[in-house]
Structure 1
Amino acid sequence: MQEPSIAPLLEDLKSVDESVRERATQSLWRIWFEQKGMPGLEMIRRAQTLLEEGNSPEAEATLTALVQSHPDFAEAWNRRAVLYYAQSQYRQAIADCETVIRLNSVHFGALHGLGLCHAALGNYPAAIEAFRQAIAIQPFAIANQRLLLECTMRLS
């Protein structure tokens, strides 16, 4: 998924100018969500609506159908990982985050999620590694910096 067109956006994530970083972040999310056009985006939106309505099983089924029909759609895998994380199904979330990262090695959201899942399971070395990778992409992401420090302290 690493297209040449996103290289400037990845560089902008490292800008000292917060507005430049924010625009780049939003642009990357848009590219990732729209990877499969409107049909893919609509299925992700449908799953989100189902989640907001409290229908997690149907949201999961929608996302599972989407990853089965479009196994290269990184954001579909990421959305399902988010659902699994919210349900404390950390191992399933880890598996989906790892798929996202295989498909899109610069997906800072999946790296962040991977770190959160490993931290929730007490696997702090793996969490630290995931947060470090996310910080390499988004060096100004305060949440990842804080989580990295928290996990490092837990190892002490």
Structure 2
Amino acid sequence: MDDTELFPLLEALKNPDEAVRAEATQALWQIWFGQKGAAGLQTLQRAQVLLEAGEADQSEAVLSEVIEQMPDFAEAWNRRAVLHFVQGNYRKAIADCHHAIALVPVHFGALHGLGLCLASVGEYREAIQAFRRALEIQPYAIENQKLIFECTAKLS
């Protein structure tokens, strides 16, 4: 991914204007989903349709195949992490989040997801770290602020 394309969008996430942040957020998701062109996007969409139809195993197979073919496709890792999270397979989701973050360190969605997974397995300190990293990228993300508070309360 081209950092010159990402930098202005990442800066816009810090803008006090909610509309500017929303536009930047949408643009970043489009970049991540579109990283591998139309074919990659269609594969992610097919996996999502399968998941929504209750065909989680088939959805996972589609995502695993695209990951095998394109291991640098961060959003494929992130989508499979989401699938694992929905199924309650938190350790698998954590591993996939780590892959997505390794590929795209500013992937606020994967960082947020990592925090959710870590909190789900009771690793609250690590969850707080993930939510804080996500907040560094999206400082106005109130949900992450709220989750940090909840995880901190569980440590008390």
Q: Tell whether the structures are fold-level matches, with TM greater than 0.5.
A: yes
The code of the aligned residue for 2:53 comes to: E
User: What's the CA shift for 1:2?
Assistant: 5.5
User: What's the CA shift for 1:20?
Assistant: 0.1
Question: Residue 75 of structure 1 contacts residue 100 of structure 1 at CA under 8 Å; is this kept in 2?
Answer: yes
Tell me how far apart the structure 2 counterparts of residues 2 and 55 of structure 1 sit (CA, whole Å).
35
The code of the aligned residue for 1:150 comes to: E
Provide TM-score, normalisation by structure 1.
Answer: 0.99
Matched, 1:49 2:49: yes
Pairs aligned (count): 156
Structure 1: unaligned runs, 5 residues or longer: none
Residue 140 of structure 1 aligns to a residue whose secondary structure is coil
Tell me how far apart the structure 2 counterparts of residues 6 and 123 of structure 1 sit (CA, whole Å).
31
User: What's the CA shift for 1:4?
Assistant: 1.4
Q: Any residues of structure 2 matched to 1:103-114 within 5 Å, and which?
A: 103-114=103-114
The code of the aligned residue for 1:11 comes to: E
Amino-acid identity (%): 58
Structure 2: unaligned runs, 5 residues or longer: none
Q: Structure 1 runs of 4+ off > 6 angstroms? A: none
Matched, 1:101 2:110: no
Tell me how far apart the structure 2 counterparts of residues 3 and 87 of structure 1 sit (CA, whole Å).
34
Question: Residue 2 of structure 1 contacts residue 104 of structure 1 at CA under 8 Å; is this kept in 2?
Answer: no
- RMSD after superposition: 0.7
Corresponding residue number in structure 2 for 1:75: 75
Corresponding residue number in structure 2 for 1:139: 139
